[in-house]
Amino acid sequence: MGLPLLLGLLFSRTGGLLPQSIEQPNSCITAERLCLADPACNATYQILENCSRSYAKNSFLILDHGARNKCLQAETMIRNSHFQECKCQRRTQRQEEQCLRIYWTVHSTVSEGDFNLEMSPYENVVSEESLKTNYNKLATQVSGSHLAGDHTNPCLQVAQVCSLNRRCGRLRTMYVANCSPKDGHPCNQRKCHQELKHFFGKVDMDFTKRFLFCPCQDEFCGERRRKTIVPDCSFQNSSKPNCLVLLDSCLKDYICKSRLADFQEQCKPSSSSSDGCFQHNHATCLEAYMGMIGTPMTPNYISNSTADVTLWCSCENSGNHKEDCEEILNLFSSNRCLRSAMQSQMGLNQVNTKDQEELQFISSPNIQGDGTSTVLTAKMYWESVKKTQPEVLMQNRHLFSHSVYSGDRLSLFTLTLTLLLLSLGSP
């Protein structure tokens, strides 16, 4: 008796359609369903869909004056209806592509002729609290087992921890297999990208962030970090395409276009901000960056010896569009906000000055050392982190537990004296 009554109540509240019960109120899918049931909204939406198809085949600027005005009027009307401020769930949802198709139909004229989208179609629901997983518990298991290996290579440690997590280990094995050549034949980049998107979409970010942004002290670690996404397949080709070609390919794909818009909004740099970011949210910036992996505009590290990232493209033979091309390239290679967010995740000092352009391997704290000077430098650094970056303290405590604090404890007098000498010697 209880179950039929419960099902009846559920169906009555959803109009007989169970899937609607899990739809978000501001979802573009929900908005489209409501619009199609409204004759006036439906007619305007059909006009806008025709406009969207025209943009895909031609260009907004090529359409005649009357057609452009008709499209602009329809978009204004439709965005003031059920679609007002509609958004899409992030990439863990099965209906992502359907929702994004609707979103870009409603916003089709906004981005025509301009790659500066800067308006993300995704709901901004990321928080540090939502990212907590059992990573630290698994890391403790690794440290006390035969898997411990080289404590000076945090990228290796992350891989070992991932192997203990069922989902992380399985999906990592899948993308590595699909991004590797088989029987002498080159890899299938499309399939590789698909599996990479699946990995970064389904695995908890507490794992994926550590994979991409593990703090390295040497080139062995740096090489492992750079090869995380199997760059021979996912990142680079035999020759670098022009960045404008890369952009054009991205804008024709709903998911790539959406993630580029998300990246531009969440990682928008600010020269007047102390953390380098207009949005002041490193977590959302890094998530947006990870969202680009597996798209035609997949970024990666430049080399084994630096933490700078870039796209696999160049601006040679760009003609009159060279400035536009360089702007695309600089979205990743010269993005102050992205660099600051990566530094924060890696447990490095924040970017506080405009002239600090490169993020190189740091020599302190030297987690491979065991002398008194190493312990002192690391302790000073750690105290600074506790005051300025509490999230870094929680994320990286386990990386230092086997190295930095293995030396003798220093007296308060020694620490105070050293800090005084350093301050007097500063320019």
> Domain containing 149 — which CATH number?
1.10.220.110
Q: Note whether 225 and 299 are same-domain residues.
A: yes
Query: Number of folded domains in the chain?
Result: 3
pLDDT of residue 7: 37
Residue 354 in any domain: the answer is no
Q: Note whether 293 and 167 are same-domain residues.
A: yes
Residue 385 in any domain: the answer is yes
| CA 334 – CA 99 distance, rounded (Å) | 32
Q: Note whether 228 and 137 are same-domain residues.
A: yes
pLDDT of residue 366: 34
Residue 114 in any domain: the answer is no
Q: Note whether 196 and 78 are same-domain residues.
A: no
For the four alpha carbons of 326, 328, 331 and 332, in that order, the dihedral sign comes to negative
Residue 280 in any domain: the answer is yes
Q: Note whether 280 and 245 are same-domain residues.
A: yes
Beta-carbon count within 10 A of 414 CB: 11
pLDDT of residue 271: 87
The answer to whether 203 and 167 have CB atoms below 8 angstroms apart is yes
Selection from 336, 113, 174, 304 nearest residue 226 by Cα: 304
Q: Note whether 157 and 301 are same-domain residues.
A: yes
The answer to whether 101 and 49 have CB atoms below 8 angstroms apart is no
Structural domain ending residue among the three candidates 72, 106, 140: 106
Cβ neighbours of residue 347 closer than 8 Å, sequence gap 6 or more: 215, 385, 389, 392, 395, 396, 399
Structural domain ending residue among the three candidates 296, 329, 346: 346
Q: Note whether 226 and 264 are same-domain residues.
A: yes
pLDDT of residue 108: 77
pLDDT of residue 348: 67
Q: Note whether 84 and 206 are same-domain residues.
A: no
Residue 195 in any domain: the answer is yes
| CA 263 – CA 248 distance, rounded (Å) | 17
Q: Is 303 left (phi over 0), alpha (psi -120 to 50) or beta?
A: beta
Q: Note whether 293 and 341 are same-domain residues.
A: yes
- By the 10 Å C-beta count (0-12 exposed, 13-18 middle, 19+ buried), 327 is classed as middle
Residue 414 in any domain: the answer is yes
Low-confidence ranges of the chain (pLDDT < 50): 1-22, 60-61, 112-113, 127-130, 148, 350-419, 421, 426-427
Selection from 334, 342, 352 nearest residue 285 by Cα: 342
Q: Where are the alpha helices (DSSP H) in 292-363?
A: 322-333, 336-346
pLDDT of residue 62: 57
pLDDT of residue 372: 31
Residue 383 in any domain: the answer is yes
For the four alpha carbons of 53, 54, 60 and 64, in that order, the dihedral sign comes to negative
Q: Note whether 213 and 342 are same-domain residues.
A: yes
Q: Note whether 74 and 142 are same-domain residues.
A: no
pLDDT of residue 133: 60
Residue 6 in any domain: the answer is no
Half-sphere exposure for 297 (CA within 13 Å, toward CB) = 34
pLDDT of residue 14: 38
Q: Note whether 72 and 145 are same-domain residues.
A: no
| CA 404 – CA 383 distance, rounded (Å) | 13
Containing structural domain, residue 409: 372-419
